[in-house]
Amino acid sequence: MFIDELEIFVKAGNGGNGCVSFRREKYVEFGGPNGGNGGKGGNVLIRVRTEYNTLLPLHGRKHYRAGDGGNGKGSDRTGAAGKRLVLDVPSGTIVRDRETGTILGDLTKAGDRIVIGQGGRGGKGNRHFANATNRTPKFAQPGEKTEGLWIRLELKMMADVGLVGFPNAGKSTLIRNISAARPKVAEYPFTTLRPNLGVVASSGFKSFVVADIPGIIEGAHEGAGLGLRFLKHIERTKLLLLLVDPTDPERDPTTCVRVLINELTSFSSRLSEKQRIVVFTKSDLIHDREDELAELKRDLEADGVLCFTISSIKGVGTKDLVYKLQELLDELALKQENEAVEAEEDPVDETPVGPADPLDEI
């Protein structure tokens, strides 16, 4: 089962209460307060677990609580700290406050973690309150109580290349051809009901990840079909492959490209800014749209859009496509690296803002 959205209630542990206690030891002339402090409550953490690709492990429960801190004891003994709660999620998980929608964390890589619930402080024992005017305090501080929080977990899969197309455009067949992923392939629409990831080995030791999402239709950005739910999974990709089936009996290739681009730009500004590559599939099948296809390719290439013609069944053109994708991904990685270096070298203006403080001259 693929779970990409989840709402759960989390609560950090309460702090333990401080203790009221007095020394009573034989042969000790003066007694006195010796109540220990309460232990701290456990924190609630969310961390990335790279082997996960779904939120399914958290699907079975709605409420999660960390351990409470132990109460303080006599002889200055501090209560035990509460056991922390660690929730593991896949990389690409966004954590939101359910009520306000505020993003609490965006966990995108291995090692990422956030604390979304701080355990309550332990209360002070009566020894802490002893002073010259009150040498035998008969009270202690209670532990701090924590409040729970409803959070929403949203998974946006981490991939380098996203496959977009109408139902039966050949997305699943392509990902089966270029990777070890084995999504379902059939001759009826909406065969793919959940996103699939495939690792593509390109050249040498290089590889990249491709995401195959269910087919989208016109109006997907408004909720039609399955597109609205799964378009978010390609928001993090670096490149978009628009797969167009020239043999589609319901729409011509020009209409396919126009509608796909419109759905992407309408859904998210991030998708509208990504580089797109148009891939015409099923070149092994005969059709009567060759002239229209040639004109469409010329128009797209004139606008700087790369075009490929492939047959995933026959393996025609798929290797050239993979090599080009790797080349483009390498260029993007180099560009990001150069931008990061330039940002580090750019001098920061440390001129104070506002009137000078006269004390600075002393």
Q: Has residue 115 been placed in a domain?
A: yes
Same domain, 93 and 240: no
Residue-by-residue pLDDT tens, the chain, 362 positions = 567 789 999 999 999 999 999 987 777 666 789 999 999 999 999 999 877 877 888 888 999 999 999 999 998 999 999 999 999 998 888 999 999 989 999 898 888 899 999 999 999 999 999 888 888 899 999 999 999 999 999 887 778 898 888 888 888 888 888 887 665 554 534 444 467 778 888 876 788 888 887 767 665 445 444 445 567 777 778 899 999 998 888 888 898 899 888 888 888 788 888 899 999 998 888 888 888 889 999 999 999 999 999 998 888 999 999 999 999 999 988 887 787 777 666 654 544 444 444 434 33
* 282-286 long-range Cβ contacts below 8 angstroms, 24+ apart: 282/170, 282/245, 282/246, 282/247, 282/311, 282/312, 282/313, 283/309, 283/310, 283/311, 283/314, 283/316, 283/317, 284/311, 284/313, 284/314, 284/316, 285/246, 285/247
Determine whether 359 is exposed, middle or buried from the number of CB atoms within 10 Å of its CB (0-12, 13-18, 19+). Answer: exposed
Listed in sequence order, the residues at least 6 apart from 306 whose beta carbon sits closer than 8 Å to its beta carbon are 277, 278, 324
Q: Has residue 42 been placed in a domain?
A: yes
Pairing of strands 93-97, 149-155: antiparallel
Last residue of a domain, one of 119, 137, 155: 155
CATH number of the domain encompassing residue 144: 2.70.210.12
CATH number of the domain encompassing residue 272: 3.40.50.300
Same domain, 149 and 169: no
Q: Has residue 362 been placed in a domain?
A: no
Same domain, 253 and 325: yes
Domain range enclosing 276: 161-342
